[in-house]
Structure 1
Amino acid sequence: MTQPLDRRLHAFRPDLADERLRGQVEASIFSTGEPAVVSAPVADLRPAPDLARGIDTQLLFGENVRVFERRDGWAWVQSDEDGYVGYLPETSLGQPFEATHRIAVPRTFVYPEAELRKVPLQALSMGSRVRVTGEAETRGTRYFLLESGGAVIAAHCVPIEEAASDDYVAVATRFLETPYLWGGRSGFGIDCSGLVQLSMMMTGRKILRDSDMQASFGQEIAREELRRGDLVFWKGHVGLMEDAETLLHANGHTMTVARENLDAAIERIGWLYQYPTGYRRP
């Protein structure tokens, strides 16, 4: 029996579908969509064009999307980064640009000019993509000037073709005490699978967005084999190992990204969400 397509990863509705799905789904119209880029610092992606609906995930400034529909102030899009499909406010989109750098710290400010004493225009999360068109220095601090306007601290950026680190666990630890946010995928608020995905993305590794998608990533291992960098899965939850005994995870217990002894976490989580469903090594 053929498994139905996951609506989170495939753009299809009875009236409109991605051209690449022709022959797999039925739709009145098939479209190749049009390219756009996220122009908001963080854009909430929802399963329906309704602000009352919870967010599935978030897209970051400078990330590319394919737009299949614009209607009533909403855009139906698919992320180029991880294939996630959903609705976001049309005002969150702008014209595509070729990014030169990526933000490499959990959060940074965009100033109106190369002067940290000025009131920031906005804040950007780790993983955001920017196009640098110039440089400036003020009192010994080096800034990158952005094509979109404003300036960021140069030391907070890495070239787009370079990984920010070769250790995704070290990247994850930089988010310690970041608030937990269901569907969050930024330095302003993040959930369990968002932490795994964003940390890996900054080291040049690609992994899908949600924990059930991530549960088949890498190689299955036994609990006694766990070491730094391995993933632990529960139904609806994932964490990564800082070492053989310590779990790093964004969780609804502390409502932060936190360290927790794995045995203690298994015992605490078990009464409500049962025990781990698997252990994997990326």
Structure 2
Amino acid sequence: MNIRYIRVPVANVWRQPNQVREVDRPSLSDSPDWEQWLHGMSLEERKDLVGRLESQLLYGEPVIVMKEVNGWVKGVIPDQYTPKDGRGYPGWIPANQLTFDPQYHRAWEEKPLAYVTADETRLNPEGENKSLNISFMTKLPRVGESDGKAIVLLPDSNTGRVPLKDVTIARQLPISGGLQRIANARRFLGLPYLWAGMSSRGFDCSGFMYRIFEAGGIRIPRDADIQARYGTKVSRQGLEPGDLVFFAHEQGRGRIHHVGMYIGEDRFIHSPNTGNPVRVNRMTDKPYCEEFCGGSRYHGTEIFDDENRNHLR
């Protein structure tokens, strides 16, 4: 299996290389300028990411490479489940944002990981004058500790340091309850929406839920309609804090297009859409009262249709 790892703080996963626009160029280099990309887009250009951008990956996460063409890699993301491909979520990534080092690969499979549980933190690579701003739920192999810092292995085999107060060291994060998931989600109130977003620079609706549940030790599928297929089905009357709530076109009878998390007292937290940041709404607010189509409760023991997948971790 041809595996590579992300070597930039956040990597975009595109549907096709030819769908990248001129405004997206700052996100494509081996040292992408994330702020220039995000702030260089108008509202209409952000909306135009629909159908172009598929998902995102965080620093150090794995990709299974299928082929490489003209500086682009077509791959699948093994940790983001989708029925589109049993191996993982498919898409195209600039080849210069990927690397492979055998030492890192072994550590990823075997070592405890330092999960970033702060909203974001600073990573200081050894021997370099620059630091990197890395996202919530970035995870890197922990190889030591010193002076209040976790020493982590980087995808290029260098080491770096992150504040211990900003990470949780574990091979797998423990499963937490709904109230802890809600507390984590509330930290991102006001964060701008980003189509396909999977980092604390911007989430889409299902990417937000994916990372919040991941922080609670629970893996769920990548997209909202697939998230609705799994877990224990819950009615409106049976909702408990921490459950996922889903919304569909055609007054709840059509295709599922949105997901949030129930927080109690007939309210839910979500990342609504382009131009509207993470916020809390009531289940009685329009259009949600008309589009609600059910809930799901995840326990962390769910098995998706992936018996033959290699999760790499």
TM over 0.5: yes
**Root mean square deviation, CA, Å:** 2.3
State which of 161, 165, 168 in structure 1 corresponds to 2:171.
161
Q: What are the residue-to-residue correspondences of 1:235-274 with 2, within 5 Å?
A: 235=248, 236-252=257-273, 255-264=276-285, 267-269=286-288
Is residue 2:157 matched to residue 1:147?
Answer: no
Residue 91 of structure 2 corresponds to which residue in structure 1? 86
Residue 292 of structure 2 corresponds to which residue in structure 1? 276
> Which is bigger in relative contact order (C-alpha 8 A, separation at least 6)?
2
Q: Secondary structure at the match of 2:291?
A: coil
Name the CA distance, whole Å, in 1 between partners of 2:166 and 2:206.
24
Name the CA distance, whole Å, in 1 between partners of 2:217 and 2:189.
21
Name the CA distance, whole Å, in 1 between partners of 2:162 and 2:96.
23
Deviation at 1:135, TM superposition (A): 2.9
Partner AA of 1:144 in structure 2: A
Is residue 2:139 matched to residue 1:129?
Answer: yes
Name the CA distance, whole Å, in 1 between partners of 2:94 and 2:3.
16
Name the CA distance, whole Å, in 1 between partners of 2:173 and 2:263.
20
> Using a 3 Å threshold, how does the CA distance of structure 1 residues 147 and 220 change in structure 2: closer, same or farther?
closer
Name the CA distance, whole Å, in 1 between partners of 2:275 and 2:263.
18
Deviation at 1:120, TM superposition (A): 5.2
Q: Secondary structure at the match of 2:211?
A: helix
Deviation at 1:237, TM superposition (A): 0.4
User: Could you report, residue by residue, the CA deviation over 1:114-159 in whole angstroms, capped at 9, with x for unpaired residues?
Assistant: 9xxx97521111111213334332xxxx112333343211111112
Name the CA distance, whole Å, in 2 between partners of 1:164 and 1:190.
23
Name the CA distance, whole Å, in 1 between partners of 2:168 and 2:260.
26
Gaps of 5+ in 1: 1-32
Is residue 2:200 matched to residue 1:187?
Answer: yes
> Using a 3 Å threshold, how does the CA distance of structure 1 residues 119 and 246 change in structure 2: closer, same or farther?
farther
Deviation at 1:253, TM superposition (A): 7.0
> Using a 3 Å threshold, how does the CA distance of structure 1 residues 221 and 112 change in structure 2: closer, same or farther?
closer
How much identity, in percent, do the aligned residues show?
A: 27
> Using a 3 Å threshold, how does the CA distance of structure 1 residues 92 and 225 change in structure 2: closer, same or farther?
same
Is residue 2:12 matched to residue 1:44?
Answer: yes
Is residue 2:212 matched to residue 1:199?
Answer: yes
> Using a 3 Å threshold, how does the CA distance of structure 1 residues 217 and 170 change in structure 2: closer, same or farther?
farther
Is residue 2:185 matched to residue 1:172?
Answer: yes
Name the CA distance, whole Å, in 2 between partners of 1:160 and 1:61.
17
User: Could you report, residue by residue, the CA deviation over 1:30-80 in whole angstroms, capped at 9, with x for unpaired residues?
Assistant: xxx401111111111111123236211101111111111112111111112
Contact 2:194–2:274 (Cα < 8 Å) also in 1:
no
TM-score (norm 1): 0.77
Contact 2:233–2:294 (Cα < 8 Å) also in 1:
yes
> Using a 3 Å threshold, how does the CA distance of structure 1 residues 173 and 128 change in structure 2: closer, same or farther?
same
Residue 247 of structure 2 corresponds to which residue in structure 1? 234
Could you say which structure has the larger radius of gyration? 1
> Using a 3 Å threshold, how does the CA distance of structure 1 residues 164 and 146 change in structure 2: closer, same or farther?
same
Contact 2:195–2:274 (Cα < 8 Å) also in 1:
no
**What is the total number of aligned residue pairs between the two structures?**
238
Gaps of 5+ in 2: 22-50, 81-87, 249-256, 299-313
Contact 1:180–1:251 (Cα < 8 Å) also in 2:
yes
Name the CA distance, whole Å, in 2 between partners of 1:281 and 1:164.
17
Deviation at 1:242, TM superposition (A): 1.1
Name the CA distance, whole Å, in 1 between partners of 2:278 and 2:175.
19
Name the CA distance, whole Å, in 2 between partners of 1:208 and 1:258.
22
Name the CA distance, whole Å, in 1 between partners of 2:274 and 2:60.
32
